[in-house]
Amino acid sequence: MPEPGYYGQFGGSFIPEILVATFEELVQAFEQAKADPEFWNTYLKLMGSYSCRPTPLTYAENLTRHFGGARIYIKREDLNHTGAHKANNVMGQGLLVKRMGKGRVIAETGAGQHGVATATMAAKFGFDCTIYMGEIDVQRQRPNVFWMERLGATVIPVTEGTRTLKDAINEAFRDWVSAMDDTHYVLGTACGPHPFPEMVTWFQSIIGLEARRQVLEETGQLPARIYACVGGGSNAMGIFSGFLDDDVELVGVEAGGRGLETGAHAARLASSDASLGVAQGYKTFFLQDDDGQMKETHSVAAGLDYVGVSPILSHLKETGRVRFSAATDTEVVDALSLTIRKEGLIPALESAHGFVQAFKEAPTLSHDDVIIINQSGRGDKDIFTVADAFEDPGWKQFIRDKAKEYDAR
Amino acid sequence: MPEPGYYGQFGGSFIPEILVATFEELVQAFEQAKADPEFWNTYLKLMGSYSCRPTPLTYAENLTRHFGGARIYIKREDLNHTGAHKANNVMGQGLLVKRMGKGRVIAETGAGQHGVATATMAAKFGFDCTIYMGEIDVQRQRPNVFWMERLGATVIPVTEGTRTLKDAINEAFRDWVSAMDDTHYVLGTACGPHPFPEMVTWFQSIIGLEARRQVLEETGQLPARIYACVGGGSNAMGIFSGFLDDDVELVGVEAGGRGLETGAHAARLASSDASLGVAQGYKTFFLQDDDGQMKETHSVAAGLDYVGVSPILSHLKETGRVRFSAATDTEVVDALSLTIRKEGLIPALESAHGFVQAFKEAPTLSHDDVIIINQSGRGDKDIFTVADAFEDPGWKQFIRDKAKEYDAR
Amino acid sequence: MLAETLRAKQREREILLMTHIVMGYPSFDDSLRVVEAMVEAGVEIMELQIPFSEPIADGPVILHANQRSLQAGSSVERCLAFGEEVAKRFDIPFLLMSYYNILFKYGVDAFAKRMAEAGLVGAIVPDLPPEEADEYLAAMAAHDLAPVFILSPSTTDERMARITRVTKGLVYCVARKGVTGQDTSFSDDLDSYLARCRAATDLPLALGFGVKDRADVDFLRGRADLAVIGTQTIRVVEEQGVEGVKPFIEGLRPPLSA
Amino acid sequence: MLAETLRAKQREREILLMTHIVMGYPSFDDSLRVVEAMVEAGVEIMELQIPFSEPIADGPVILHANQRSLQAGSSVERCLAFGEEVAKRFDIPFLLMSYYNILFKYGVDAFAKRMAEAGLVGAIVPDLPPEEADEYLAAMAAHDLAPVFILSPSTTDERMARITRVTKGLVYCVARKGVTGQDTSFSDDLDSYLARCRAATDLPLALGFGVKDRADVDFLRGRADLAVIGTQTIRVVEEQGVEGVKPFIEGLRPPLSA
Ligand SMILES: Cc1ncc(COP(=O)(O)O)c(C=O)c1O
Ligand SMILES: Cc1ncc(COP(=O)(O)O)c(C=O)c1O
């Protein structure tokens, strides 16, 4: 009988003593919410009226024809309010915060997506909101900083460490240990100490529940395979949740960055570069050196650029239930480009990782097979990154002209 | 008995002889589609599986409390695929193009929203696509140009005239008269020669049909008033359509720009600056000089910055069925700001015009009353404009740094 | 009346020339000198275009001329005065050409009255199909002016009949799809199209869109009654100045004495 | 054993001092000189922190020291060697402090063995609650080392009992919410919290987080057994150099002879 919060040897709750009481309160609130069918109904209602759930399952007819194999369906988390599956998690945690009677939320953010989602939830629920974001990400992802500030959140640039996502997480924990009485830390993915992996997965399972119903309705059959990108693992766990007990192959796709052989990647489960460790409150595979110090990671997709991974996914890898692969930056931009042109869909760079692997495998399957790709978010938020990836000269000129305009005033 | 295509004295079809046959074909295809219930079902199915329809009707609890009058509901067209109600129109016309067996679409665009929507539809349906866009708009709205190009469309900058929306329309007509055999012109709003006003309204009426059902379900009553911004008039006609026969006050809000008294606005129906005229193929109120030459218009919202207006709305103004007002740029930025902070919603600058008027009137109504604002699109597409409107220093620095980075390479 | 005038001129010339200018481009002085040169070069009839901010049926060259004329400050009144001046000064018929809004804003009847007073003989309004033209037709009739309508290759026989029924003076046949100022391939298709036009009306047929040189005009001889030279003269003025106009026009047909 | 050592020292001094350094910050040479100065100034016990890339329980000053030490190339092995060196050279007990991953990656038992060989007496691992500590407790016991656990004001009495049951040597009581390096208000609340800690265990109580000057130490006299000076000595070194350490520490308590 595994301890609560453990998935095989992964997970746990490695937290400073000062937070233990807070976590106990959170675990309790979460357990009560899970046991209360009204809570899930309230959650469904909120997501249906504030976001756009159920999100559609779109048949990608042109891509299907292009690859000439399996019929490709796309689960459209990009159509959520704020543009990604992150909305599911934050709105769920928002309801829990209300239940706990707290008035302030904090969050880490890398790409800015989870920060915007949290700031949005905070505006909607009337919470104070502080977002921690690595200084480098603040610089790279200014548009999201702008929106977070408009939404009333305080964005604090984190200047220590690698100045990216993992350091923002550390900083959020530091805030939390100082202010846990009235503050809830809205962790953005299925990582961190118990109950976060389970709780975030629970809220995200709305994706898989919908997708299962939809694919049966639409095609009368279960999919052969499901593809999802894996940063922390929340969108993947979200869609996988609906199919764990089915005869459906689940494929997680990590950031291959410049190639697994270069070391400049964020593949914790698809490469042999990661090893078991304990950091940021939980035990999982980390990209770390022999001393246990965390390494720098790389991905064209800021949201996948993280050293750890959901302990639940580590476990599902170990049991063989989920297969993992990696997509390189170049493959990602190509898959993105093809998807935009063939279907008029703009996946986020993160999501495009799932598309890469699906495109590799679709031709090897039969037209009788159905596959689902989880489009976790929309890519138009990434224009600065995508335009750079495409080396678009018109865009560069536009930015130069805009800078001149600002200088002139 | 009015002639087809006329709404009172407004509308008609003032087109070059060379296009008459093309319009006859279009009218016929449209009439057949309207008469065929399968067509509308196909349309609903497409919008449900590719976009996110029905879009939610969100109760704006915080704004309601803030203003202390009518209960404010928001129809969430921002959650459409591509981020605005424009999707409804283009996907509908796309189905019609397929029915007519044509292989190429063209469109005008101002803000770029309709261009992106059309390019998206073209990618999805496999049509060739050319988008005409005023040179000034190409410069201002580069992000949208970037996406249109990624979607496979050719974007042609229009260098004549005011180099904005109306000139792009003229240029699209010029293309069409050269290539109508295989080309359909996807006009972006409820303007232009018959059947466009009626046809675009028909596709957009999906908004009103949904909203009526939703508000009754949610509140058990009809709204007292409905607010929608008016550029060409398509989103307004879309939502109004569902309530024309009801005892519901309909309010259209035009661009007041720098103030009606300054002349720098785009208020055709809410000001006395416009007069009846015939241009771009139809008869309506235009902002024109005494000679009949069109004037330059101004709005912070590119999508409202247009000289003409739907002939159907001109008629509904004349009959008194719809009331019109204008919102200034400053009021719009304030309403946007408040809405972001209170509800976590980011209306497009265009849509925010509707919010301005609703906010003025909500406190004068009772809590027993319900009002609906049509949030025609999302504002995160407008970051360059919004950041400028807010004079955000962090944003400016970001752009300067980005420009330096490009110069350095 | 206009039709008879043209028929009379056709006794001297098998194919007549109708030329086109945008009034006020590049200036009213230049416009006057261009008209003068054209009349001297033997042009039989002219279209004077009042510039409009939204000329949807015109191609880039004429569009540009419209814009520049407006930017230089030309007004409808100034254009009408110009029309009056040339109509009094030169002994050929002048048609006005503009988009419907110019007439509509002026007041259609007032506009026709003013045209008649100015000595202009008719008008071409490319965005006004007969279906929308009741008021215009009444006004033109009341002031004895020729409403010139347009036929296109995609116009059905039935519609040709309907259009020519309300047309006076001449019928303007556009040679092809597209806007003004593009090349037209003068081919068999054109032949059969013109035959259809001929069958629809006894009025002189003016063929426009893309006529640019002597070969084109030669091709039209015996097929149309008038060749319309629009964009090409604007190009000539832009490239060679007003001086280029007369030689260009004269070169389009063999000399009269020949 | 450690507990007895401390109790023995308490016969001379009512309140003991435990100080903290991040090994390798700003350099191992400086670290050595700081230890030397502290020992000379009469510190009774020291925490030696092995830097970690993700020190979630530390505030900005110690966080920064962790980062700089790592950037300067300090390794776990080098830190252990440093621990060994000072343990041999100076006659006070030394505890290691680090995050659990450092031990975990090394191998928890191997780490404990190495500590014991180095002459270190115990460890503080702030992100390792007793619930997750089975392996660690076994290794520490096997090598006769003191596992020092932490209590906080939000720890319930029940949980205090559970934690102190597995703790050896001393109990580390954090004074308040928050991370290291912030001000603590030494007040009645603290009083009742320390009374609860005292009730839970016979072990010496070390109070940490925010102790920064003589007034704070005076306040703790009679309430806690050890005052922990963490962030403040790093600040002193940063502001006054290693020279500042000895006078600072000496100033925290009245001289022994007094
Ligand atoms: C669109 C999108 N997809 C995926 C991710 C990765 O997170 P996760 O693995 O938790 O789904 C992110 C993170 O920012 C994201 O923004
Ligand atoms: C979001 C949005 N709303 C409104 C409009 C105005 O168009 P219409 O009046 O046709 O709805 C536009 C036009 O681009 C738009 O993008």
Q: In this structure, are residues A153 and A130 in contact, taking their beta carbons and an 8 Å threshold? A: yes
Phi, psi of A236 (to 5 degrees): -65, -50
Is B179 near chain C, with CB under 8 Å? yes
Residue A364 confidence (pLDDT) above 80: yes
pLDDT at residue D185 above 90? no
**What's the full length of chain A, in residues?**
409
Distance A231 CA to ligand 1 centre (A): 6
- Work out the burial of residue C197: count CB atoms within 10 Å of its CB; fewer than 13 is exposed, 13-18 middle, 19 or more buried: buried
Using an 8 Å CB-CB cutoff, list chain B residues near A145: 394
Token pair belonging to A26: 């959170």
Q: Percentage of chain D surpassing pLDDT 70? A: 95
Question: Rounded to whole angstroms, what are the CA distances from B139 to A312, B172, D102?
Answer: 48, 19, 54
B86 catalytically annotated: yes
Query: Phi then psi for B111, rounded to 5 degrees?
Result: -65, -25
Determine whether the interchain pair C163/B177 forms a contact, defined as Cβ–Cβ distance below 8 Å. no
Question: Is the predicted pLDDT of residue C180 greater than 90, yes or no?
Answer: no
Q: Exposed/middle/buried for D162, CB within 10 Å: 0-12, 13-18, 19+?
A: middle
The closest ligand to the CA of B266 turns out to be 2
For residue B288 the two structure tokens come to 């024109």
- Chain B within 8 Å of C7 (Cβ-Cβ)? no
What residues contact C120, with CB distance under 8 A and at least 6 apart? C48, C83, C84, C87, C94, C95, C96, C145
| Residue C1 to residues A148, A155, B57, C4, D87, Cα–Cα distance (Å) | 74, 81, 66, 5, 122
Supply the Cα-derived Rg of chain D in whole angstroms: 17
The answer to whether the CB atoms of A341 and B152 lie below 8 A apart is yes
Ligand with the closest atom to the CA of A200: 1
| Structure confidence by residue, pLDDT tens digits, C207-257 | 987 888 999 899 899 999 999 999 999 999 999 999 999 999 999 999 876
Q: What are the distances in angstroms from CA A188 to CA A147, B189, C122, D43, D110?
A: 18, 40, 74, 44, 35
CA closest to C67 among chain B residues: B161
Chain A CA closest to residue B141: A398
Return the pLDDT at B318: 98
Chain A nearest C-alpha distance from B203 (Å)? 20
Nearest CA in chain B to A383: B143
Rounded to whole angstroms, the Cα distance separating A189 from A86 reads: 8
pLDDT at residue number A1: 43
Ligand 1 near A379 CB (within 6 A): no
B-contacting residues in A 176-215 (Cβ below 8 Å): none
State residue A261's pLDDT score.
97
- Element (DSSP H or E) covering residue A185: strand A183-185
Q: What is the mean pLDDT of residues D39-53?
A: 97
- How near does any CA of chain A get to the CA of B49, in Å? 5
Find out whether A71 and A367 touch, Cβ atoms under 8 Å.
Answer: yes
D139 φ, ψ to 5°? Answer: -65, -40
**Could you give the domains of chain B?**
7-48+85-196 (3.40.50.1100), 55-83+205-389 (3.40.50.1100)
Domain ranges of chain C: 2-211+222-250
For residue B160, list chain C residues with Cβ-Cβ distance below 8 A. 60, 63-64, 67
Q: How confident is the model over D32-44, as a mean pLDDT?
A: 97
Residue D182 reports pLDDT greater than 70: no
> What is the tens place of the pLDDT at every residue in B56-113?
999 999 999 999 999 999 999 999 999 999 999 999 999 999 999 999 999 999 889 9
| Beta bridge partners of residue D20, listed in sequence order | D47
Residue from the list D54, D127, D156 with its beta carbon closest to the beta carbon of A16: D127
Write the CB contacts of B306 (distance below 8 Å, at least 6 apart in sequence).
Answer: B110, B165, B166, B189, B191, B231, B232, B266, B297
DSSP symbol at A378: B
Q: CA neighbours within 13 Å on the CB side: how many for A20?
A: 22
Contact between residue A379 and residue A346 where contact means Cβ atoms under 8 Å apart: yes
Q: What is the pTM of this model?
A: 0.96
B121:A344 CB<8 A? yes
In whole angstroms, what separates CA C102 from the centre of its chain?
A: 17
**From A56-60, A163-167, B279-283, D91-95, the region with the lowest mean pLDDT:** A163-167
Specify the 3-state DSSP secondary structure of D121.
Answer: coil
Instruction: Specify the residue with its C-alpha closest to ligand 1, atom 13.
Output: A303
| Helix and strand counts by DSSP (H, E) for chain A | 15, 14
* Residues near D116 by beta carbon (within 8 Å), at least 6 away in sequence: D143, D144, D145
CA-nearest of B274, B270, B327 to B301 is B327
Which of these ranges, A160-164, A357-361, B242-246, has the smallest mean pLDDT?
A160-164
Phi, psi (degrees; rounded to nearest 5) at D143:
-110, 15
Q: What backbone torsions phi and psi does residue C223 show, to the nearest 5 degrees?
A: -105, -45
Q: Which of D217, D211, D242 is nearest to D229 (CA)?
A: D211
Position with higher pLDDT, B3 vs A83: A83
C-beta neighbour count of D215 within 10 angstroms? 11
Confidence of residue D181 (pLDDT cuts 50, 70, 90): low
Residue ranges, chain B, pLDDT below 50: 1
pLDDT of res. B131: 98
Structure tokens that stand for A106 in this block? 């904090």
Query: Could you report the per-residue pLDDT of D56-86, keeping only the tens digit for each?
Result: 989 889 999 999 999 999 999 999 999 999 9
Best B219, B380, B381 residue to mutate vs chain A (most A CBs within 10 Å): B380
pLDDT surpasses 90 at A381: no
- Give me the sign of the Cα torsion angle B24, B27, B29, B31: negative
DSSP B68-100: TSSEEEEEEGGGSGGGBTHHHHHHHHHHHHHHH
Average model confidence (pLDDT) for chain D? 94
Percent of chain A with pLDDT over 90: 88
B9 and C CB contact within 8 Å: no
Catalytic residues of D: 47, 58
Supply the residue whose CA is at minimum distance from atom 7 of ligand 1: A231
Q: How close B24 comes to chain C (CA, Å)? A: 11
Averaged pLDDT, A191-218:
98
Q: Which ligand is nearest to the CA of A268?
A: 1
Given a cut of 90, is residue A113 above it in pLDDT? yes
Residue that has been written with the tokens 């001109």 in this structure: B314
Q: How far, CA to CA in Å, does B308 sit from each of B118, B170, B294, B351?
A: 21, 13, 9, 18
Work out the minimum CA distance from B235 to partner chain A, whole angstroms: 19
From the CA atom positions of chain C, what is the Rg in Å? 17
B 269-308 residues inside an 8 A Cβ radius of A: none
What is the DSSP annotation of B139-187? Answer: HHTHHHHHHHHHTTPEEEEE-STTSSHHHHHHHHHHHHHHHTTTEEE--
Give the chain B residue whose CA is nearest to the CA of A48: B56
Q: What pLDDT is recorded for position A253?
A: 98
In the three-class reduction of DSSP (H, G, I as helix; E, B as strand; rest coil), residue B240 is classed as: helix
Give, in words, the CATH class of D2-211+222-250: alpha beta
> Which of the two residues, D222 and A123, has the higher pLDDT score?
A123
Please classify residue A390 by burial: count the beta carbons closer than 10 Å to its beta carbon, then call 0-12 exposed, 13-18 middle and 19+ buried: middle
Cβ distance of A49 and B59 shorter than 8 Å: yes
Any atom of ligand 1 within 6 Å of the Cβ of A113: yes
**Is the separation of the CB atoms in D38 and D66 below 8 Å?**
no
Facing residues of B286 across strands? B275
Chain B contact present for C104, CB below 8 A: yes
Q: How far does C255 lie from chain B, in Å, by closest CA? A: 35
The pLDDT of residue C177: 75
Residue with tokens 């420009």: B403
Nearest residue to B343 (alpha-carbon basis) of B65, B78, B67, B60: B60
Rounded CA gap, C194 and C153, in Å? 9
Mutate which of D22, D50, D53 to test chain A, going by most A C-beta atoms within 10 A?
D53
As to burial, measured by CB atoms within 10 angstroms (0-12 exposed, 13-18 middle, 19+ buried), residue D188 is exposed
Q: Is the CB of residue B379 below 6 angstroms from any atom belonging to ligand 2?
A: no
- As a residue count, chain B comes to 409
pLDDT single digits (tens) D191-229: 889 999 999 999 999 998 788 899 989 989 999 999 999
Q: Give the pLDDT band (50/70/90) at residue D129.
A: very high
Q: Can you give the length of chain D in residues?
A: 258
Contact yes or no for C132 and B22 at CB 8 A:
no
Q: Please state, in angstroms and rounded to a whole number, the distance separating the CA atoms of residues C74 and D24.
A: 82
Distance (Å, rounded) from C-alpha D235 to C-alpha D248? 11
Q: Are B142 and A394 inside 8 Å of each other by CB? A: yes
DSSP structure string for C218-233: HHHBTTBSEEEE-HHH
Ligand 1 centre and the CA of A376: distance in Å? 7
Contact assignment for D178 to A293 by CB distance below 8 Å: no
Residue B303 CA, ligand 2 centroid: distance in Å: 5
Dist CA A169 CA A333 (whole Å): 28
Instruction: Check if A45 contacts B (Cβ < 8 Å).
Output: no
